[in-house]
């Protein structure tokens, strides 16, 4: 962050989830007030995150992820993931597959990741209870948030919470690097 004052921090978000769950609608709702389209499904926006101006890249996946190689490349390029489902069973089950694929590709036990139950405005069609979704999120040690791309409920929250997770992860990784560098120096000092 402070290390390079000229470049804004950039946080890379990937939208994943079954077709029709609202990945595009959430992305467009978040982007609406100011957005630059990079290509069909990829967006960049400047936002103020806790007082710091940053950029967010959003890759809104759409079915191409059926091709494993393309999907893996997308997942590799992401720093954080919004895993969206409808509060209806089929897309909820798919979230477990998405999470597994992401962790495999990232070669990590945990990555910045939010479980997002979308279309909260359609409460009468709900099939997955809040408690069931929360239990899965807890098991994964991630947050569960319900959104509506229609009413805008929690739209900013999911993107900003994810960016905070990404930022925290980058700071942690930075510390690790500094530590191992310091350790290497210390080792050398001992030899000398
Ligand atoms: P994607 O395939 O995950 O990108 O899903 P889309 O964003 O294309 O959404 C699928 C359909 O659901 C579209 O007709 C959207 O207008 C609608 N939709 C998306 N989010 C919501 C929501 O929160 N509430 C309601 N009522 N409809 C939504
Ligand atoms: Mg879409």
Q: Mean pLDDT, 10 residues at a time, over the chain (192 residues)?
A: 68 90 88 57 91 94 72 90 90 94 94 96 90 97 95 96 97 80 65 52
Which of 130, 131, 112 lies closest to 120 in space, CA to CA?
130
Instruction: Name the residue at shortest CA distance from atom 18 of ligand 1.
Output: 22
Instruction: Name the residue at shortest CA distance from atom 16 of ligand 1.
Output: 25
pLDDT of residue 1: 46
Q: What are the tokens at 38?
A: 């990079």
User: How many A from CA of 159 to the centre of ligand 2?
Assistant: 17
Best residue among 25, 87, 152 to mutate for probing ligand 1's pocket (most ligand atoms within 8 Å of CB) is 25
The whole-angstrom separation of Cα 126 and Cα 146 is 12
User: How many A from CA of 45 to the centre of ligand 1?
Assistant: 21
Query: From the CA of 118, which ligand is nearest?
Result: 1
User: How many A from CA of 106 to the centre of ligand 2?
Assistant: 23
pLDDT of residue 191: 53
The whole-angstrom separation of Cα 56 and Cα 162 is 11
Helix/strand/coil for 36: strand
pLDDT of residue 89: 74
The whole-angstrom separation of Cα 106 and Cα 67 is 17
pLDDT of residue 36: 54
pLDDT of residue 5: 61
Task: Name every protein residue with a CB atom under 6 angstroms from any ligand 1 atom.
Answer: 17, 19-25, 62, 118-119, 121-122, 148-150
Q: Which run of H or of E encompasses 38?
A: strand 36-39
User: How many A from CA of 64 to the centre of ligand 2?
Assistant: 11
The whole-angstrom separation of Cα 138 and Cα 9 is 29
Beta carbons of 154 and 145 less than 8 angstroms apart? yes
Question: 68-77 and 89-106 helices cross at what angle (nearest 10)?
Answer: 70
Instruction: Name the residue at shortest CA distance from atom 22 of ligand 1.
Output: 119
Q: Which domains does the chain have, with CATH numbers?
A: 2-188 (3.40.50.300)
Query: From the CA of 26, which ligand is nearest?
Result: 1
The whole-angstrom separation of Cα 11 and Cα 162 is 9
């Amino acid at each position: 962050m402070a290390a390079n004052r000229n470049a804004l921090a950039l946080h890379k978000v990937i939208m994943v989830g079954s077709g029709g769950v609202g990945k595009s609608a959430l992305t467009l709702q978040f982007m609406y007030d100011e957005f630059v389209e990079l290509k069909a499904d990829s967006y960049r926006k400047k936002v103020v995150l806790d007082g710091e101006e940053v950029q967010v890249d959003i890759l809104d996946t759409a079915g191409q992820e059926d091709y494993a190689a393309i999907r893996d490349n997308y997942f590799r390029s992401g720093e954080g993931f919004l895993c969206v489902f409808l509060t209806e069973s089929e897309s909820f089950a798919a979230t477990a597959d998405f999470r597994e694929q992401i962790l495999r590709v990232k070669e990590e036990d945990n990555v910045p990741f939010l479980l997002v139950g979308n279309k909260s405005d359609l409460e009468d069609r709900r099939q997955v209870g809040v408690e069931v979704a929360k239990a899965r999120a807890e098991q994964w040690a991630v947050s569960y948030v319900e959104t509506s791309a229609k009413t805008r409920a929690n739209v900013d929250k999911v993107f900003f919470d994810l960016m905070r997770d990404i930022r925290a992860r980058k700071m942690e990784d930075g510390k690790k690097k500094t530590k191992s560098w310091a350790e290497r120096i210390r080792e050398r000092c001992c030899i000398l």
